[in-house]
Structures are given as structure tokens and as C-alpha cells.
Structure 1
Amino acid sequence: MRDEGLRGVTKVLNGHSGVVNAVKFFPTGSEHVAVLLSGAADHSLRIWKGHQDAERRFDLVKSVTEHKSPVTRIATLPGSDVFATGASDGVVKIWKLVHDVDFTAIDVELIQSISLAPRYFPLAIALAKLDDSALVLAVGGTRSTIQIFVSYDTQFQLSATLTGHEGWIRALDFTQESEEKDSDLLLVSASQDKYLRLWRLHQGEELPAASAALNDPALGVLGKSLSNKAHRFASATAKYSITFEALLLGHEDWIYTASWRHRAGRLQLLSTSEDNSLAIWEADPSSGVWVCITRLGEISGQKGSTSATGSAGGFWIGLWSPDGNSAVSLGRTGSWRRWTYSPTQDMWTQQVAITGHVREVKGLSWSRDGSYLLTTGSDQTTRLFSEWKRDAGSSWHEFSRPQIHGYDLNCISAVTPTQFLSGADEKLLRVFDEPKGVSEMLHRLCAIAPPSSASLPDAANIPVLGLSNKAIQAIDEEDTVDNADDDETEVVDPASIVRKSTLEFNHPPFEDHLARHLLWPETEKLYGHGYEISALAVSSSSALVATACRASSIDHAVIRLYDSAEWLEIKPPLKAHSLTVTALEFSPDDRFLLSVGRDRQWVVWERGEEGAYVLRYANPKGHTRMVLGASWTALARPTFLTAGRDKTVKIWAVEGDGVQLKGSVQARAAVTAVACNREAGDGKLQFAFGTEGGELVVGTAEAEGLDEVATVTVGRDVAPAKGINQIVWRPGREGRAQQMAVASEDSSVRVFNVEGGIVASA
């Protein structure tokens, strides 16, 4: 996030076999050593050591599976080797990191297991130093109470149970009230009841002065639940009390995170909520009452709106930067939002941050000239990524979110430089045209030449309760919209216009822009299929589109062809498969159409004299298990590749009246995707395939030696962590390093440079 080059994600750590629920940097106290702790649904706790070299490598040094259920939370403590983990087995474990001075050798020792009683799942844990002899641990979760444990020797004991919240506890965090060593500890708790509560841990027999919050008449009926009951306990050397300090009101929905920070000599609190806001709180110097001094995020007018009309769906994570002058949040749409404090303007301004898919990425397509990349997947969005080109260099960013849908999206393909179509679980395909606002932005920021046609719509939006993006008009700030025939009874819908200034910016768009203003208008719907769309291909000439849907019979396992000029179906559909067609691709000259399916066969259709495609070749036993990928090569002799669950990639050549098997490549797992580079040149075959385990392999062979394929496996440190769904080579790379994009089940889209057999992240 603090990278001035804005390169985005620079490292991905593979290893966990389940969803990662918690990550925490262990406080090493050294600028030269980084230790990262991670916990996941695979029940494991992993310890990674970072190397401060040019590649900033992280190596796995220890994996522990003491928990019997998914690890949900990790808490660390600066200045201590003790840390805690919580899991959905209702157990909190206390650990000690064992290491030498420079962290050359790292190990972990289990100190204690605490079974939470009555049993609940820990969703928040926090550690703090109580005094020189004791630590304090706060635990909250799927109950409305907070349990306080204090260490005696090395064992923690339950010392207090704090009541008051009326919902699950989502976040806990300790801090010293001031930088003085003997100042009180403050604990913040955030809950699904929409409130933050502050608690004071005070040393001594005497209780601290009663908080002014308890007597605030503005709280009204809430005052009845603001008990200042003192919870007393002792460490080995001193006596303590915990009292309720303040109730913070302001959020309108569940609160997910709360985090303290001392900024410029003042204690501030950061909180994020399902209400799409990030709030910064501070105690008023005169009254001591805690108030919200800054609120960032979306305006309250958007509450209750769905993702289709732009709501972020809540902020799940909120973090301070190390210097406290920036704050970031992460929400349901997968986009980080970043704000930085400007002392000169005395305000927080939004900055460019990282965005991306949050669920499985199903489909990819480069634009016809390779200038941008379209992606789509199970998070029901289509996204456009390209390179932001500027004097300081270039970096990849999301520049448009053409489609925000109500169904999972399965496939996508560019038709022309300004048009694409996508297929979804809703059984139909939709065609989208690039709006003028996006075209001008891509020209301004990515040096992508605008289309020669001037008939592009200005922008698009989604009507309330609708799924179809509608074209809207962009107007100047001083302009008004003329009603037809000056009919005063006709009122222009404010949602049907957008101010041009909204679409004019000199940086990659923020999440607010992507979710509302950078949609593409929908121009056509393609009907005909009876089940979810499974495969899609556009001919090299862009004149034809071939589609298929999920099927369990020959009647539905058909391939439908559409004319892209009028978007009319060319009948009859192509029948040969008996189960779902999993992949389609036209040959470079459009003479052939290749289809493969779950019925284990591949079929080659040939274009006849009248332009219709007819079955020419078929192999019902092309693979011993279902075929999942297919791709044509650019070799002079018609040659294609198929890939299947039988862990093989096969190379086939059309010769005379038949198709001959020319070569085969074995993989270590089921092959789920294969793609040929049509710009390999010099009569060479270059292709890539991916497996269900995330393994990515690049293969090369001579045109006359297809039985001898040389392969290079991409390193696991840069390869996807889960199955690969699609691979697409980038066109228009003559004279430059070849590139390919990879879509994965791990929600990532990766672009690789491929040059001289070496594969590296782009």
C-alpha cells in the first residue's frame, strides 16, 4: 500500500490448503527481519520468515496443526515472544516463539490451551502487558460477553467477564492511555450490536473517576445498560479493576474492526462497519467524551442498496499505516480503500489502492489488440485491467467494472475492440459496448487509442431492481437536461445522467468510480440455451459466436452459433456431444471449430461452402476421462491441443481425411486449461497448461517434432494456489516478451512474462 510505484500485489505466499482466516506480523523489533503468522481453515498455524533482499522472499519455517478446527484469530504483543491463536473448536492457545537473536532459527512452543466456557467460537482476541509480572488476554466471539484472562507464572486464568454488549463481539484491542509507563490500559470492544465500548484497566484498590459518558443525558434509555460495575482481580504483584469507560455511537450496522493508534500525541480509534464507513474517534479535550472526528467511506444515502447499485457491502477490515497518517479498509467487493491525512488541508484524501476479484475467476479475454484484459467470475462481476502508463513507469490496475450482475459469470470473450459478451448461470449471454467515458479514460491513462466511431454512449448505470446496464447521458456541470417537447410533466430521472467531471480523473479509478460510474451499457441478449452457460468462443474474424451450456443429454449439449452483425442465431445448432461442452475455439483462419466436453470426446467442425459448420472429425475416446481444455495452434498444418482429467495434454494434427495424435504431455494432476500462443513464430509450437492443483507449465516443440515437447514448470512461489480455470496469451506482442494471463480458483488473475523458457510475473 505504501509502494510509491503502485505495483499492487508483490508477493503471494502459497502453502495453506484452506481459506486463510488470520494473518499477523510478529513484532521482531528489527527492521531487517520479518516474521509472519498465518492461520487457516486447514487447522494449521504457519510461520513465515521474510528476507529483506531484492525479491523480498518469505519462506515457510514452521507449520503447526495443534488446533482441531479452523484457526480464526491471531494476537501478538510487541516486546514479547508470546502470542495467541483462537479457533472454531472453542479453544484459545497460548504460544511462545523460540528464536535466537537474529531469528536465524525459529521454532514455536505451546504454552497453554484454554477451552472457552461456556463454549463459543473466538472471533476476537487481544493481548497486552499488565505489569512486569503478568499479561492480560481478552477474548470475545459468538457470545455477547468478553472474557478477561490474566497470566500467573505462565498460565492464564479467567479473571473477569464483561457484559453490556447485545451482539457477537467482532474486535478487541488494548492500548496504553498515554505514553507514560504507569498509565491505565484501555480496551475497546466492537460488536454486531452497532456499538463500540471502552473499558479501563486501572491499577490499585481505588476505582478510577466515573466516566462522564455514564451521565450523558443524550444517551437516553441506553443509560440503563451502562453499568459501571467494577470487576476486580490481581496479578502476582498488584491489584486491578476493570470498569466501563464509554459507549461510542455512530455506526448504523455491525462493526467489524477497531484499532488504536497514538497520532501526533493524541489517542485515536479506528473502526469499520457493515454500514460502508470507516470512522476515526477521539476524546474531546475538555469533556473527555469520545466523538467521531472523521467519517470516511460511503454516504448514508446508499444504505440498503445492493451491489448492483453500487453499495460496497460493508468494510470488513480497517488498518492504520505504521506512521498513523494513512488508513485502509477492505470490503466485500475485494477493493482496498486508502485515505491519507493531509496536514495542509486538514483532511483525509482518498488514494489509489488495490482491487481485484474476491471469488473464483472463471473467464479471461484480452481485447482484440491486447491493450487490456477482461476478467469475470463467481463474484458476479466483470472487470477490465490495463497498464497505467506514466513517466514513473507503468503498473496494472482495474480501470472499469463493465458488468455487476446477479448471477455467477462463467465465460467472457472480446468481439471487437469496443465490445464483449459474457455468459452466466442465468442461461443467456449479454453483449456490452464500451462507453465514451471509459474510452477516453483508457486513452488518457493507458495510451489506448480511442475507437474511430463517434457513436459510443457516454456512460451506463443499472436501474433499481434491474440486471441490464442502460446507457445514460454525460452532461457538463452547468448544463441542464432538456425534457422532450418541453413537456413540464415529464421529469428527468437523475439516475439517467452523470456529470462529465465525475468521469474525469488523472489516476486509476477508486472503488466509488468502479462500482457506479464505469459500467458498460448492454446492447443485446442471446437466448436459446436451457441451462447455465458453460463455454464461449468468438471467431477470428469476429463474425460468429459459438456458445454451449451445461447439459446431461444430447438435446442440451448443443453448440449454438450467432451472427455478431445482427445477433441472430444460425440454425440448426451443432449436435455431437452428449454431456456439457467445456471448451470451444475457432481455428486461426475460422475454417474449423473445435469443441470438447465431459463426454470425453473432441469434435472438429468444418465450415462448408455456404458458411455453415458441419461435423468433420470426432474422437469419442480422445481422452480416458472428461476433456476440459482445447486450443488451436498457429502452425501451417491445422493442429490443436486437448487437455483432460486423465492428466494429459494431447497434440493432434489434421491430415488428409483424418486426425492423427502427434504428441502427448503428462501432468501430475488433472489438466483444467490449455492455451496455444499464436504469435510464437518460426514454425514453433508454444503453449501453456494448468492443473486443478494450480501447477502452471509452459511447453515448446518444433513443428516437425511434436512428439518431443520441452516443458518448464512455473515456480510455486508465483503460481496460483488453487485450480487454474483459463489461460489466455496476449496478442500484439511482436518483438516483445510474450505474456499470458491466468485465471484461478484462488480468486487471482496473474499476468506472466514468458521469454526464452523463463516465466516471471509481469
Structure 2
Amino acid sequence: MGSTGISKHFVSLALYLFRRQDRKNHGIRTSLRGHTDTVNAVKFARISPNGPLIILSGSSDKTVRLWHSPLTSVYEFSYTVVLEGHTSSINCLVFNPDRNLVVSGSADGTLIVWSLSFSQDEFRTSLVQTIPTIPKLLPLTLALSQLGAIGSLVLAVAGTKGHVQVYVCGAEESPFHLQATLVGHENWIRSLTIITENDTPDSDLLLASASQDKYIRLWRIRQDKKATSDGGTVTKRNFMSSLSNKAHLLRTSRASYLLTFEALLLGHEDWIYTVQWCAASPKLQLLSSSADNSLAIWEAEESSGIWVCKTRLGEISSQKGSTTATGSTGGFWNGLWSPDGQSIVSLGRTGSWRLWMYDRESDRWSQRFGVSGHVGPITGIAWAKDGAFLLSTGGDQTTRLHAAWKHGEVETWHEFSRPQIHGYDLNCIDSIGSTHFISGADEKSLRVFDEPKGTAELLQRLCGIFLSSDQVMPGAANIPVLGLSNKAIENLGDNQPSNGDVEPTDAPDPSSLGADYKRASNPENPPLEDQLARHTLWPEREKLYGHGYEISAVAASHDGKIVATACRASSIDHAVIRLYETKDWREVKPALTSHSLTVTCLRFSADDRYLLSVGRDRKWSVFEREVSDGEKYSLACGNPRGHTRMILSASWAPGEARIFATAGRDKVVKTWKLLENAQGLEAICLATTTYPTAVTAIDLAPRILRNGFVAIAVGTEDGEVSVSILSPPDMVLSLSRKIDDA
């Protein structure tokens, strides 16, 4: 589904679809691209029971976009209509199938009502009404429902004020009018949801509002012909059935309705983000999600009618702790019922969709395998040297391991480990052999990690990734309190007591990260989010110092003996490349100098003879390994104006031809070839290819294709990824094809 910007660097410009009922666990199946700014709101809709499925998306680009799928597919959505009219970011959407109306709420303080129709395979839209909120608020949530059996509608709006504004629309041609303002909340209201109490035509409506004040309020709307014209009093019967003697009168041309406060729900310990009624349950059930790391299911007791929390899902109280890296998920952004009411999904701050299924026999909710991923910008990826798995790291301050899960005849990719949970944004990563990796962060140092035995056994069991039996591995890892360094610990067996000679402060806590990975891991599925966050850390082997600013680039040689690093720099003093040998983790001095600004990418050639660097100073440089000392490199050649703007990425071609490619913000990819002459090395430009937008990443395939062709992958600033073929001998780009990420 659409997601919102999580950090100052990250926005989601696309919608992503995955199917909860997919038994093959393919994960994300389709992405819908078209918005030019953050997607803030998403709604499924259907204009008619037999009509196409529709997705409505609202964005910070001030537009609402309509996507529809053919009746033969649930994944092949295509962009259809754009609705324009707001002057600021769109934050919330609601759809009413009775009248086919869409209402959008914007940061400009207005609501816009749109009418949709579908005929002859064509969608038609029209702007019905623009509603200024009075007093002005920034709408964050909407609820829209039919009012009675006479075609009237009630619209509830809430946001950056502690009140709910209620609008009523009578006949089809009449506009919405503000008729009530509901007070009581003491902070922003984040969510509204409305439902009919039963299936009778004159059923009451129940409106739920959730706020940052940690409370949920329920409001009842019922038809009452005895209401006075000014709405100031109610009958004794109505007063006794409500918790408040304050009644708001809602009028249409045909009937009058009373809106009264019904109940106050207490139980959450932090902001409440969403509430949603379960439409499939025979009894009223309300689901709430909160920043206190829990979901709650609320029901009214049959005997007393008092609303209580019947079920709580999410974090166990003993595992909470928002101040620790692994002691808390950071809260749930939303909670959603499935159409049949037998499962619940929720998206949390760690980027994972969690799934709970209801078991009727045991009357319990159990967590099942969901979908996980980064929740911030991904700043670096690296394959294990043997290609067994993929490592990624980014601005959400985590490093994640992804591998192919082989279940039956199906092979799907999932997150199997979260080796690093950090306190700084992570900027780059590279693997050292098949069981180690190094990452660099804004903390100005680099950290080296070893694969633990728990992760190795999991990858062997589910992915068929086998390791040498004589390889010595640590058992697991955890993060000490107030620390950032993952410490190696040994697992305690199910029946193995702890050593009595160990001090209590040094003994591993059974509830801490990695205390017993075997006991926590699921033998049949990839790890659940709880297990990823607490039981899959990698122990830290070494920490490397030397740079004065945030780490910008890192590369490990193919033989695993040398690591090259660079940091952000605005002068030649800090724009140096530091080398470290991996045997004793000693810095190889002197540092390599060539650039005057930040080095953005480092790459070793396939035989590790050359080290290629590119930077913001528009320069590329090639360093050659000294024959007398295999640890040292020296500058062999360079081009101070390799591109007209900063160079962002580079890669070596396979083979012995000494060909490499560079890409930059000037929208150009260039291929170069090293030649030896009497003066040493020089490089000539073989080909130049221009792209519509800045090229931010490139990579050349590690193997030569038939007849000497080389594959190159190119990523651009607008999110496009394409694969092309470089034709020998001039390495001219041809046969380019854009990758469809559906």
C-alpha cells in the first residue's frame, strides 16, 4: 500500500501491492507509479458490485489519482484519472459506494467532494463541492456513511484540532453543511471510522475517533423525531441510553438525528494512530493501533454494555522500551481487518507488515509470516562474495540480509536477518568473503561484522546455503544497554543451565536479543518481525577509525584482504581514501590522495590490481597495486573532468580488457579503457550514453556474455532501472530494456 515519508530524505512516490492470501508468499507484486511526491492516503473502491476494482491515492503533489484493474486480474492496475483542485498536500480520502462520491482532505484546510461514474469502459469525474473547514483545521482523517434509509449522508472530519466536524448532505443534489462540532479530545485526532450498528434500515450509526491524547471516543447517531428544533434537549429515554446529556441535532429535509457521546475507551499508553470497525463480525468489534507497540480489539460486554479491550496484539510488556534499538518496534502506524474478519495486518515503524490469524478452535490470534523491508532510503547494497545472499543498508539505521527461500517448487526472496541495528544513518556496505561485511555510517567510523551460527543454520535450512563445517562461528549477538556495538554471546540450549560462575551482569538475558535463536526461529518460515528485531543480530568484530566526517563509500577487495574507505569532504585534506588490511585491521599508510571533494564510489577491479574512485569533484582516479607490496596502491591515472557534473557511481567490466564505466548527475554514462604507454597508464573514452535524468547508480555484470558482450544495469534519479548491452570492441550501449518492477 502507499506509505508516507519516514525520514527527511525519504518519500514514497509509488503504491505497492501485495496479496495477504498468497500462499506462495511472493510479497510485493506490483508498483503503481505516477505521483511526483509523497503518497499519503490510499483507498480501495468499487463503483458497482460488478465493476472494476479501483484504487484512489492522494499525494503531497496536490492530486488524487484513480487506478483501476481489469476484471480478470487483481494486480494489473493502470492509471486512469487525475483529480485536481487542492492547493496543498492531500492527507486523507474516503469513498461512499452508495452515491459514488470521493471526499479528499487537504493541508489547504478544505475538503473537495468528487463524483465518479463508469460506463462503456470509461471513468467520468466531476467536482461536486468544495468545503472550507470552519474553524480551519488540517484534515488528517475522514469518515463517510449513509444516514438512515433515505439517501442522506453524514461526513465526519478531524485533524489538527481536538474536535470532530460533522457535515450532513440530504438529497442527492444538496451540498454538505456543517451541523455539529464534537469536542472532548485534547490532542490531534488521527483516525475516524463509522459503522451501522445492525442490518435494519433505521439502524444507529457508531462513529469512533482516535487521538494522540491516547483515548478513543465513541459517538452514536440515531434517528429521533422527538428532538427539539434547537437540539438543546433530549427525551428521558435518549438521555438514559447515552453517557452525556449534550445532544447534537443533525437535520435533513426528511428526518432528524441525534448525535451523542457513547463511550470513552482507555487502555493505550501512547498516541493512537488508527481505528477500524470490523464489517464482517456479527458483533461490533473495533481495532485500534498505537505507538505503544500494540493493537487492541474492543468489544462491548453483553451484560453491561461497557466497552473493554478483549484482545491485545503486538509487543509483550516486558519487551517494550522505546529508548533501545531492539527493545521496541517503535509503534504501529495502522491496523486493518481482512474482509472476512479472520485476520489482521499492521504496518510498523520497522517497515514490516505483520499478520495475525484467528483460530476458532483455540479462540486465539497467532502471528503468521508477513512482508518486511526498509522503512528509509536504501543507501547501499552488496552481494555476498559467493552471491548467496544480498545485504542492504540505509537511512532507517538498519542493515538487512535478503535471500531466496526455497519452499517446494517455489523460490521467493525474503528478509532472513537484521545484522545491524544502529543509532546513526548507514551510508554504505560491502561484503568481505561469504560470512563477513563492513558498513559505514554517519558516526565517522566503520564496523565489521561476523555471521553468527544461528543465521547460518537458518540459511542452510530454508535457503540451501551451506557453509564449511570447520568454520568457527559465534553463537549469536546482542546489544548492551546504552551501546551500539553488537556483542557476541553463546546460545543456551533448551535444557542447559547457565554457568554459576558467571556474574549476573555478564550472563545473557534470556529475553534479550539472540539469547537462544533456535528457540525463537520458525523452522518452516523466514523469521517473523519480532525475531528479526531481536534474534538475528551479527556480532561485531572490529571498529575502524581514521576519518573525520561521515563515511561516504567503502569497498572490499575480491580476495578479502583490503578494504578501501572514504568520507564526506569539502577539502583535499579529508577527501582521502584510507586502506585497511583485514588480517589485523591495521591501516595501510599513507592514505591515497587525488580528490578534492567527497568520494562517492570505490570499486576494485576483478583481479584487485586496480582501485577506481569517483567523486563530487567530477573526477575519476585509478590506483594501481604496487608489485613489491600487495597492500599498497598508488595513483596510476585520472581525469579531473571526467564528467561535467559530479560523478555518482562507477563499475569495472569483467575480463582483462581494463574497461570501466562512470555515471553522473550530468545524465551521462561513459565507458573508458585503460591503455599502457611509455609514461604509464592512460584512459580513453570509448562511448557516451545520455539518459533523460541524472544517473545515480550503475553496475556491470561480473561475467562476459557470448561474443564478448557485457551487461550493464543503470539506475536514474526518477527511479527507473534499465539493463543494456555493451557491444565490443567500443562498448557502445545497445538493446536497452527498462525493468518492470511489477
Distance, in Å, in 2 between the alignment partners of 1:474 and 1:491 is 11
The offset of 1:696, in angstroms, is 2.0
Give the counterpart letter for 2:254 in structure 1.
T
Q: Secondary structure at the match of 2:30?
A: coil
Are the equivalent residues in 2 in contact too, given 1:631–1:640 (CA < 8 A)? yes
1:183-194 alignment to 2 at 5 Å? Answer: 183-194=203-214
Q: Secondary structure at the match of 2:587?
A: strand
1:702 is aligned to 2:702: no
Of the three residues 448, 456, 468, the one matched with 1:439 is 456
Distance, in Å, in 2 between the alignment partners of 1:292 and 1:211 is 25
> 1:27 corresponds to which residue?
46
> 1:414 corresponds to which residue?
431
> 2:68 corresponds to which residue?
49
Give the counterpart letter for 1:547 in structure 2.
T
1:542-691 alignment to 2 at 5 Å? Answer: 542-609=560-627, 610-611=629-630, 612-657=632-677, 658-682=682-706, 683-691=708-716
Q: Secondary structure at the match of 1:13?
A: strand
1:200 is aligned to 2:220: yes
> 1:231 corresponds to which residue?
248
Are the equivalent residues in 1 in contact too, given 2:606–2:655 (CA < 8 A)? no
Of the three residues 441, 444, 450, the one matched with 2:467 is 450
The offset of 1:6, in angstroms, is 0.9
Q: 1:663 to 1:635 in 2, by over 3 A?
A: farther
Distance, in Å, in 2 between the alignment partners of 1:536 and 1:343 is 52
Distance, in Å, in 2 between the alignment partners of 1:324 and 1:363 is 40
Q: Secondary structure at the match of 2:278?
A: strand
Listed one character per residue, the Cα deviations across residues 110-159 of structure 1 (whole Å, up to 9, x for unaligned) are: 11111111111111110010031410000111111111110134301111
Give the counterpart letter for 1:388 in structure 2.
W
Q: Secondary structure at the match of 1:514?
A: helix
1:114 is aligned to 2:131: yes
> 1:755 corresponds to which residue?
none
The offset of 1:278, in angstroms, is 0.7
Q: Secondary structure at the match of 2:371?
A: coil
Listed one character per residue, the Cα deviations across residues 605-653 of structure 1 (whole Å, up to 9, x for unaligned) are: 1111122211111111111111111111013311111111221111111
The offset of 1:286, in angstroms, is 1.5
Are the equivalent residues in 1 in contact too, given 2:513–2:534 (CA < 8 A)? no
Q: Let me know the Cα RMSD of the aligned residues.
A: 1.9
The offset of 1:491, in angstroms, is 6.6
The offset of 1:329, in angstroms, is 0.7
Distance, in Å, in 1 between the alignment partners of 2:699 and 2:383 is 13
Of the three residues 518, 524, 538, the one matched with 1:520 is 538
Q: 1:211 to 1:21 in 2, by over 3 A?
A: farther
Listed one character per residue, the Cα deviations across residues 339-371 of structure 1 (whole Å, up to 9, x for unaligned) are: 011112211111111111111111000111111
Are the equivalent residues in 1 in contact too, given 2:513–2:535 (CA < 8 A)? no
Are the equivalent residues in 1 in contact too, given 2:521–2:527 (CA < 8 A)? no
Distance, in Å, in 1 between the alignment partners of 2:38 and 2:470 is 46
The offset of 1:336, in angstroms, is 0.8
The offset of 1:55, in angstroms, is 7.8
Q: Secondary structure at the match of 2:515?
A: strand
Q: Secondary structure at the match of 2:455?
A: helix
Q: Which runs of 5+ in 1 are unaligned?
A: 215-225, 719-760
1:458-469 alignment to 2 at 5 Å? Answer: 458-469=475-486
* Aligned residue pair count: 703
Listed one character per residue, the Cα deviations across residues 171-213 of structure 1 (whole Å, up to 9, x for unaligned) are: 1111110122221111111111111111110101345856889
Are the equivalent residues in 1 in contact too, given 2:646–2:665 (CA < 8 A)? yes
Deviating more after overlay: 50-59 vs 353-362: 50-59
Listed one character per residue, the Cα deviations across residues 494-534 of structure 1 (whole Å, up to 9, x for unaligned) are: 54871341235321111100111111111100111111111
Q: 1:671 to 1:496 in 2, by over 3 A?
A: closer
The offset of 1:699, in angstroms, is 2.0
Distance, in Å, in 1 between the alignment partners of 2:253 and 2:311 is 41
Q: 1:199 to 1:361 in 2, by over 3 A?
A: same
Distance, in Å, in 1 between the alignment partners of 2:611 and 2:393 is 24
Distance, in Å, in 1 between the alignment partners of 2:46 and 2:504 is 67
The offset of 1:488, in angstroms, is 8.8
Q: Secondary structure at the match of 2:491?
A: strand
Q: Secondary structure at the match of 2:62?
A: coil
Distance, in Å, in 1 between the alignment partners of 2:703 and 2:662 is 19
Listed one character per residue, the Cα deviations across residues 403-442 of structure 1 (whole Å, up to 9, x for unaligned) are: 1111111101110111001011111110011111111111
Q: 1:344 to 1:364 in 2, by over 3 A?
A: same
Are the equivalent residues in 1 in contact too, given 2:67–2:77 (CA < 8 A)? yes
Distance, in Å, in 1 between the alignment partners of 2:74 and 2:311 is 38
> 1:171 corresponds to which residue?
191
Distance, in Å, in 1 between the alignment partners of 2:241 and 2:318 is 29
Are the equivalent residues in 2 in contact too, given 1:133–1:235 (CA < 8 A)? no
Give the counterpart letter for 1:685 in structure 2.
V
The offset of 1:454, in angstroms, is 4.2
Q: Secondary structure at the match of 1:165?
A: coil
Listed one character per residue, the Cα deviations across residues 18-68 of structure 1 (whole Å, up to 9, x for unaligned) are: 100000012334366111110001111111111244583111111122111
Distance, in Å, in 1 between the alignment partners of 2:292 and 2:308 is 18
The offset of 1:243, in angstroms, is 0.9
Deviating more after overlay: 298-307 vs 440-449: 298-307
Give the counterpart letter for 1:329 in structure 2.
S
Q: 1:520 to 1:52 in 2, by over 3 A?
A: farther
Q: 1:488 to 1:385 in 2, by over 3 A?
A: closer
The offset of 1:315, in angstroms, is 0.6
1:365 is aligned to 2:382: yes
| Percent identity between the two aligned chains | 50
Q: 1:69 to 1:451 in 2, by over 3 A?
A: farther
Q: Secondary structure at the match of 2:532?
A: helix
TM-score normalised to the size of structure 2?
0.92
Are the equivalent residues in 1 in contact too, given 2:165–2:180 (CA < 8 A)? yes
> 1:739 corresponds to which residue?
none
Of the three residues 167, 175, 199, the one matched with 1:155 is 175
Distance, in Å, in 2 between the alignment partners of 1:670 and 1:167 is 43
Q: 1:129 to 1:307 in 2, by over 3 A?
A: farther
Are the equivalent residues in 2 in contact too, given 1:133–1:237 (CA < 8 A)? no
Q: Secondary structure at the match of 1:11?
A: strand
Q: Which has the higher contact order (CA 8 A, sep 6+)?
A: 1
